[in-house]
Amino acid sequence: MLKVGVVGTFAASLEAAIRRKLTAPCEIVVSSETEILSQLPYIDVLVTMLLTPEMGRRCTRLQLVQVPGAGLDRIDRSAMPSGAWLANAYGHENGIAEYVIGAMVAVTRDFIQSPYRAWQG
């Protein structure tokens, strides 16, 4: 049976959504980043924001590391076990770009009055 490790606070908040989407029979282990170490030799899929060399050494069955965010800055790619895949969330680029442009326009055109600026008169 497939064993999925959901590791860390953010990933744990996604547990219910992960369970709803899974169609294959599997066991899901939700754990902190330190408590998962003893389970790693039995994990096939790791949903996490962090992968350290110590974690990578313990992963003997790992097939996939799924990062539930856009960045990979806490994933030590050299710690990835041979043959395992690494994936992250993407597809948010347009929304972020729109937000940044909108914020720049709002700030430079005084669309938003900060409490400090309003207090100064």
CA distance 104 to 56: 41
The answer to whether residues 76 and 105 belong to one domain is no
The answer to whether residues 85 and 109 belong to one domain is no
CATH of residue 75's domain is 3.40.50.720
The answer to whether residues 75 and 99 belong to one domain is no
Centre a 10 Å sphere on the Cβ of residue 47 and count the other Cβ atoms it contains.
23
Number of domains in the chain: 2
**pTM beyond cutoff 0.85:** no
H or E element in which residue 1 lies: none
The answer to whether residues 85 and 96 belong to one domain is no
Tell me what pLDDT residue 32 has. Answer: 95
The answer to whether residues 46 and 71 belong to one domain is yes
The answer to whether residues 49 and 74 belong to one domain is yes
- Residue 75: exposure state from Cβ atoms within 10 A (0-12, 13-18, ≥19): buried
pLDDT, tens digit only, all 121 positions of the chain: 999 999 999 999 999 999 999 888 999 999 999 999 999 999 999 999 999 999 999 999 999 999 998 889 999 999 999 999 999 987 777 777 888 888 888 878 776 665 555 555 5
Of the candidates 22, 118, 16, 11, the one whose C-alpha atom is nearest the C-alpha of residue 75 is 11
The parent domain of residue 115 ranges over 92-121
Tell me what pLDDT residue 114 has. Answer: 58
